């Protein structure tokens, strides 16, 4: 049974330093940022001015009686002014959002690309252990979090704090200490309660996110392995496992929702209490003749104007904390270091002849299990060397080490005398072409999948490679020809068809060194013979390393390396090894006996 694997290391605390990491991305359009901030200030000034216009309208209207009809013109002018200022407030806000929108979108693009590139730089071990669904969800939530954080922190939190400061000053200056004190105390109580309650419920937010990533990973993992599920009639088992993940998600969301109720309820109580106190004080002063009805309306409008964004500020703060957690998960990906790194002094591989040497190579994936022990052999320029042996003997590991997916524990691998650990990854891997045992294709058409071997190749070059790989007859039988979509991971093609696409890719790449990792293992005898002839043609004069299971495919090898339990036990040509009557001869005899049955 497969065990559950966490999708990431959820932080125990929120790293506010993340904001410092995001801010530099905003200044690619710094003129837009400053202009957007200017319109933010204009919008807030218009917002603060609205209650004053409303006060004057009410005072003018209450002053009108039957003998002062001519004074009606003044309130009408104020009403028009009120409409203009309110429209300006909305318009300035829209202009602000439009200007800043491009800034946030470009920042998300830059950060998303940086994470994507970094993931491709990580070593094979990371990608073998990752959960694709959870990783994808973490990146998606992280980029969404950046958008939310930037927009609402800059254009909601800062403007709201600015507006609060202006209102407290106006109330103190126009109406005295009592009104300003009630406003300030209620705001401090509201913000303090929101922060404490949000910190408390953050655990539930993280649990919900973790459960969401886990359930998404489970669903994607199951769908990717759709055929395996069908082979073993495990639909109910997979559904039960997915339901178990969804149950955890449901429980986490329930706790999240209940904690939200506590938070919102407390905030509503503080707002109601402070509004009641302010209105009571204002009503008393109106009855005493200290304040006008317009002043009462102004104070009420100010309180509404403060607490509406404050109420929204509670939501923004909660979401901002969640966004910080999501962004931190995404930025944590950037802190993961690859165990296999390119040397700062790395040089470009210069192919002279194409000689490959394995010198005293020792390697293990884990310390308690050795995979390769003192491997020594060379492939001379233009030579074809085959590596054979029982499953688990370390054959395919040699290929991973040649591509430098892992670093050696001891020894070195050289190409034309150049240690691959001192070469750039790009120059090393560009010089080697591979036909892997398990070919995975992109969800694109056949033409583009083959073109992946050399992205700047013309259609004519791609079609020529297809023909050399003996894939043209199959393609001609398809209604859409080379434009046929292969499906996710190439599932619409058979194993042999996928293998030939991989061979066509390698032919198109025209590498100096060829690697065949059981390249014909998925082909029938007729196709195998055709492919072998094609491979023989394209590998003529090219240094070739062949990892083979079928010994009949490597009879013509210049040299055969026989491995057993991570060691080389025999080296020689086919005829020499048969005459030696050792490990190779036994393997040959077994395969010949099986083929005769």
pLDDT in tens, the chain (597 residues): 333 333 333 344 455 677 777 777 777 777 887 888 888 888 877 777 777 777 777 766 766 554 454 555 556 776 777 777 778 878 888 888 788 877 888 888 888 888 888 888 877 777 766 666 667 777 777 887 787 777 776 666 777 777 777 778 887 888 878 888 888 888 888 888 887 887 787 777 777 877 887 888 778 878 877 777 877 778 888 888 888 888 888 888 888 888 888 888 888 888 888 888 888 888 888 887 787 887 788 777 777 777 777 766 666 776 777 777 778 778 888 887 878 888 888 899 998 888 999 999 999 887 777 889 999 999 999 899 999 988 778 888 899 899 998 889 899 999 999 999 999 998 998 899 888 877 778 888 889 989 988 888 899 999 988 888 878 888 888 888 888 888 777 778 877 788 888 888 888 888 889 888 876 665 666 666 666 666 676 777 788 899 888 888 888 889 999 998 889 999 999 999 999 888 889 888 888 876 655
> Tell me, what DSSP letter sits at residue 396?
H
Residue 419: predicted pLDDT: 93
Residue 491: predicted pLDDT: 75
19 CB-near residues (< 8 Å, 6+ apart): 149, 153, 324
Give the strand order in the sheet containing 372-379: 372-379, 356-363, 410-415, 418-419
Q: Which CATH class is domain 439-510?
A: alpha beta
Q: What whole-number distance in Å separates Cα of residue 491 and Cα of residue 436? A: 16
Q: Which CATH class is domain 17-335?
A: mainly alpha
**In contact, 547 and 387? CB cutoff 8 Å:** yes
Instruction: Phi first, then psi: give them for residue 303, nearest 5 degrees.
Output: -65, -45
Per residue in 245-265, is it b (16+ CB within 10 Å) or e — as a string? bbebbeebeeebeebbeebbe
**In contact, 89 and 41? CB cutoff 8 Å:** no
Residue 569: predicted pLDDT: 92
Residue 543, SS3 per DSSP: strand
Q: What whole-number distance in Å separates Cα of residue 11 and Cα of residue 205? A: 12
The domain locations on the chain are: 17-335, 439-510
Q: What whole-number distance in Å separates Cα of residue 12 and Cα of residue 203? A: 9
Residue 75: predicted pLDDT: 62
């Amino acid at each position: 049974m497969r065990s559950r694997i966490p999708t990431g290391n959820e932080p125990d605390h929120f790293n506010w330093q993340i904001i410092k990491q995001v801010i530099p991305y905003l200044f690619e359009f710094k003129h837009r940022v400053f202009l957007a901030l200017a319109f933010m200030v204009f919008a807030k000034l218009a917002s603060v001015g609205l209650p004053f216009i409303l006060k004057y309208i009410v005072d003018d209207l209450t002053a009108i009686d039957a003998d002062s009809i001519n004074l009606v013109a003044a309130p009408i002018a104020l009403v028009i002014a009120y409409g203009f200022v309110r429209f300006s407030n909305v318009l300035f806000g829209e202009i602000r959002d439009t200007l800043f929108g491009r800034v946030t979108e470009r920042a998300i693009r830059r950060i998303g690309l940086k994470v994507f590139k970094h993931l491709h730089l990580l070593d094979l071990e990371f990608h073998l252990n990752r959960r694709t669904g959870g990783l994808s969800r973490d990146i998606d939530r992280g980029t969404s979090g950046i958008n939310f954080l930037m927009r609402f922190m800059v254009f909601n939190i800062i403007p709201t704090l600015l507006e609060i400061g202006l209102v407290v000053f106006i109330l103190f200056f126009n109406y005295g200490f009592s009104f300003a004190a009630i406003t300030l105390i209620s705001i401090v109580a509201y913000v303090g309660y929101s922060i404490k309650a949000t910190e408390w419920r953050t655990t539930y937010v993280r649990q919900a996110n973790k459960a969401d990533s886990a359930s998404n990973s489970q669903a994607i993992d199951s769908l990717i392995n759709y055929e395996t599920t069908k082979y073993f009639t495990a639909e109910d088992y997979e559904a039960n496992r997915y339901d178990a993940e969804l149950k955890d998600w449901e429980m986490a969301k329930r706790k999240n929702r209940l904690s939200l109720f506590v938070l919102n309820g407390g905030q509503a109580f503080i707002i109601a209490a402070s509004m009641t106190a302010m209105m009571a004080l204002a009503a008393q002063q109106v009855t005493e003749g200290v304040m006008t009805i317009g002043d009462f309306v102004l104070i009420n409008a100010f309180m509404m104007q403060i607490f509406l964004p404050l109420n929204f500020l509670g939501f923004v703060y909660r979401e901002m904390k969640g966004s910080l957690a999501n962004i931190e998960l995404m930025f944590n990906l950037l802190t993961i270091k690859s165990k296999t790194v390119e040397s700062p002094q790395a040089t470009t591989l210069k192919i002279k002849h194409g000689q490959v040497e394995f010198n005293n190579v020792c390697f293990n994936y884990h310390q308690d299990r050795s995979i390769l022990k003192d491997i020594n052999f060379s492939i001379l320029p233009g030579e074809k060397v085959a590596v054979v042996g029982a499953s688990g003997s370390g054959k395919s590991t040699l290929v991973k080490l040649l591509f430098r997916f892992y670093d050696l524990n001891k020894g070195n691998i050289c190409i034309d005398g150049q240690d691959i650990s001192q070469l750039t990854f790009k120059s090393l891997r560009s010089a080697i072409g591979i036909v892997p045992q398990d070919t995975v294709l992109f969800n694109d058409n056949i033409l583009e999948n083959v073109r992946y071997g050399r992205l700047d190749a013309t259609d004519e070059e791609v079609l020529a490679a297809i023909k050399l790989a003996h894939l043209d007859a199959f393609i001609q039988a398809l209604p859409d020809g080379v434009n046929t979509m292969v499906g996710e991971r190439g599932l619409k093609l058979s194993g042999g068809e996928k293998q030939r696409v991989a061979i066509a890719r390698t032919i198109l790449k025209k590498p100096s060194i060829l690697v065949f990792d059981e390249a014909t293992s998925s082909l029938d005898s007729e196709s195998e013979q055709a492919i072998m002839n094609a491979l023989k043609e394209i590998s003529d004069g090219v240094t070739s390393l062949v990892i083979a299971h079928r010994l009949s495919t490597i009879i013509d090898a210049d040299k055969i390396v026989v491995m057993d339990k991570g060691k080389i036990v025999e080296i020689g040509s086919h005829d020499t090894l048969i005459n030696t009557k050792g490990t190779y001869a036994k393997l040959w005899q077994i395969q010949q006996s099986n083929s005769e049955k």
